[in-house]
Amino acid sequence: MPEGDVVLRTARRLTQALADGPLVRAELRWPSVAGADLLGRRVLETVSHGKHLLTRLDDARTLHTHLRMEGTWQVRRTQQPPDPWRRHTVRVVLGTSTWTCVGISLGMVDLVPTAQEGTVIGHLGPDLMADDVDVVTAAANLRAEGERAIGEVLLDQRVAAGIGTVYVAETLWLHRLNPWLPACDVPDPEALMSTAARIMRRSADARTMSATGDPRPGHETNAYGRVNRECRRCGTPIREGRLGRPPTDRVTFWCPACQPGGPDGPTP
């Protein structure tokens, strides 16, 4: 599933592509909103909140979409005659006279009054990709999870929105915290949330995305996806495990030497 950095980049692309004029094509191929008429409307902006996208229109309505696991937004130059986009996975087509944006395999599509965006994102924690990230509230949410494993807590979008398996592994590696450490034992929750926000934002702003926030070759990840490869810090082979219970468990990666505890024994 795309994480907050990718979703923020997508929001920026949609904003730029749809800013040049009114919609000359607007198709919502989703049962609950299929009859909505958006033709002639102007897109004011698309913003992200965690992994959610909010495309705001000039008639005080917002198109809410979510990529889920497989969703993408493609941006293409508008063709004449128009491309029919007959693929059965196409969920949304929004086009101006210059650019056409196509949402494929989207996991959510809603149309709500802009003033009521809270009905679709109000359950989420602070947006880690926001310009003014509310790390205080995110940290308080984390502390409230008590004995729950910190890796699971960070994946919970109600705690803080935008972070997924990649940045959970990277953030915990940077702070030398085991993914199974109880949330209540995290020594500095605000610093942890600040790190997650920082490396995700650096990735979103970089020309080449990188889970470490460093776009240079060889800095793609420190822990994520590096099972059995040497830890960049101490040389110990990185391990792979599962957070949570099936069928909603998620993969994680950690260094048993730098991040002791959990399945590898007690935390010192």
128 has a pLDDT exceeding 60: yes
Question: In the predicted model, what is the mean pLDDT of residues 97-103?
Answer: 97
Residue 122 carries which side chain, given as an amino acid letter?
G
Please confirm, yes or no, whether 187 is among the known catalytic residues. Answer: no
Whole-prediction pTM: 0.91
Reported as a single tens digit per residue, the pLDDT across 146-193 is 999 999 999 999 999 999 999 999 999 999 999 999 999 999 999 999
Angstrom distance (rounded) from CA 250 to CA 65? 23
Please confirm, yes or no, whether 152 is among the known catalytic residues. Answer: no
Domain co-membership, 150 together with 77:
no
Reported as a single tens digit per residue, the pLDDT across 54-63 is 999 999 999 9
Number of domains in the chain: 2
Please confirm, yes or no, whether 51 is among the known catalytic residues. Answer: yes
Within-domain flag for 254: yes
Angstrom distance (rounded) from CA 135 to CA 153? 15
Q: Which pLDDT belongs to residue 216?
A: 45
Best CA proximity match to 161, nearest among 129, 205, 119, 203: 129
Active-site residue (options: 9, 27, 51, 256): 51
Q: Which pLDDT belongs to residue 215?
A: 45
Distances 155 to 94, 135, 172, 223, 240 between C-alpha atoms, Å: 31, 15, 12, 16, 16
Please confirm, yes or no, whether 2 is among the known catalytic residues. Answer: yes
Angstrom distance (rounded) from CA 88 to CA 72? 14
Percent of the chain with pLDDT over 90: 87
Domain co-membership, 42 together with 65:
yes
- CATH number of the domain encompassing residue 82: 3.20.190.10
Read off the pLDDT band of 268 (50, 70, 90): very low
Active-site residue (options: 143, 198, 202, 250): 250
Q: Please count the other Cβ atoms lying within 10 Å of the Cβ belonging to residue 184.
A: 15
Within-domain flag for 162: yes
Give the structural domain span for 39.
4-121
Within-domain flag for 126: no
